[in-house]
Structure 1
Amino acid sequence: MASAALFADDIFIPVGDAPAIPLRDIAPWAVFGLLLAMIFLYFVSTEQGALSLFKGMYIHEFVHDGRHLLGFPCH
């Protein structure tokens, strides 16, 4: 039990007194992260299909393995 007390007394681990981050500070970063995730999902899942934005097979070949890893069929 002595080691648990020493671990909890570490000055680098906030225990209970850490201030909460306001939602208005987190919201822009959450929206930005969601936007990046949606762009990534578009390129991996539907690019080079009926809704493709770019001609050729460059995007398809770049994300080919990721497409199969995430379970999207492509051929």
Structure 2
Amino acid sequence: MMQAVAPAIPTPIRIPIREILPWAVFIGLLALLALYFVSAEQGATAVFANMYVHEFVHDGRHLLAFPCH
């Protein structure tokens, strides 16, 4: 006689939020810093006095639809 076997119930995966949160904050700050340099550097809030940063991210500005000239 065959017996019916109940399917195994998968155990949920625990996500360690306390381990992920510092990395998520760090990545978020890096993303905001990159967004600043691509969008606002060499404008009214310029950190650097020369045009090196502007020329370095110039094509990225056009790719992301930020006007620069």
Q: Give unpaired runs (5+ residues) of structure 1.
A: 1-15
Give the TM-score normalised by the residue count of structure 1: 0.74
SS state at 1:21 partner: coil
- Higher Cα radius of gyration: 2
Note the aligned Cα RMSD (angstroms).
1.3
Question: What's the CA shift for 1:22?
Answer: 1.2
Aligned residues: 60
1:21 corresponds to: 15
Structure 2 unmatched runs, 5+: 1-9
Q: 2:43 aligns with which of 49, 54, 73?
A: 49
More helix by share: 1
TM-score of the aligned structures, taking structure 2 as reference length? 0.80
For the pair 1:67 / 2:61, whether they are aligned, the reply is yes
Deviations 1:4-63 (A, max 9, x none): xxxxxxxxxxxx557422111110000000000000000000000000000111000000
Percent identity, aligned pairs only? 65
2:32 to 14, 17, 38: 38
